[in-house]
Amino acid sequence: MARLTLPFDCPACQAETGAEVSGLSDPAQYVDAKTRAILGAAGAADLEQSILRQQAQRTLRYATCPRCGAQNPEGLAHQARERWYNRLIAAGLGTALAVWAFFSPRVALVVPGLSVLLTLVMLVHRRREGLSTPWKVLAARFAIGAALTALVILVPRAAFVVPLLSIVDGMRSKQPEEDRAWAEAARAIRFET
């Protein structure tokens, strides 16, 4: 694992400090032999340094200022864009699925099926990571999946509502990846004092 020290200027408090970013992948793995032959030793070293700098800057995007505790606005803006794109795509797919389910109600079974599948994937992931299992959340997800399945089967004319409910749920929930980026950056960055 490579590391690099870059300057970090906090936009909130204007503090300037050095930040050592560790856990970066070795940039030599991105420069193949053919590229090395074309660029030469000095050119390949410059390219590797540029790759390392890009990785470090990507990590610093999610830095939290050690002086004032403010999160980097660049990271917040990036997360807001990603959240907007994800919600837009989910709303489009959910709407298309709702229209399809209006004409063919059994199609709406995709939503509770995916919900249960993603819940099982989350459970396996949490077990592998050694994290505790949120049994109440797990039980609630399975209960909601069963209720939505029953709605589709028992009231097929209302099946188009199921994808619309998934859109509403997706719009209100916060994605765990949003917090993960800040936590990973906090582990990888050591500020100089």
How many residues are recorded in the chain? 193
Mean pLDDT of all residues in 172-179: 67
- pLDDT reading at 176 higher than 70: no
Burial 137-161 (b: 16+ CB within 10 A, else e): eeeebeebbeebbebbeeeeeebbb
Mean pLDDT confidence for 88-109: 92
What the block records as the tokens of 33 is 């032999």
Contacts of residue 154, defined as CB under 8 A and 6 or more positions apart, other chains included, come to none
Burial class, 131, CB count within 10 angstroms (exposed 0-12 / middle 13-18 / buried 19+) = exposed
pLDDT of 125 strictly over 90: no
Mean pLDDT of 152-164: 92
Percentages helix, strand, coil for the chain, rounded to the nearest 5? 70, 10, 20
Of 29 and 173, which is predicted with more confidence? 29
Q: What Å distances lie between residue 106 and 32, 101, 116, 158, 174, CA to CA? A: 51, 7, 16, 11, 29
Q: Which candidate, 121, 4, 8, places its Cα nearest to that of 64? A: 8
Domain ranges (residues) in the chain: 2-71, 84-177
- Residue (of 10, 59, 18) closest to 184 by Cα position: 59
Partner residues linked to 189 by β-bridges = 21
Determine the Cα–Cα distance for residues 109 and 121; give it in Å rounded to an integer. 18
Residues facing 2 on adjacent strands? 24
Query: What percent of the chain stands above pLDDT 90?
Result: 39
Is the model's pLDDT at 114 over the cut of 80?
A: yes
> In this predicted structure, what is the pLDDT of residue 173?
64
For 46-83, write each residue's pLDDT tens digit. 999 999 999 999 999 999 988 888 899 999 999 889 88
Which pTM value belongs to this model? 0.68
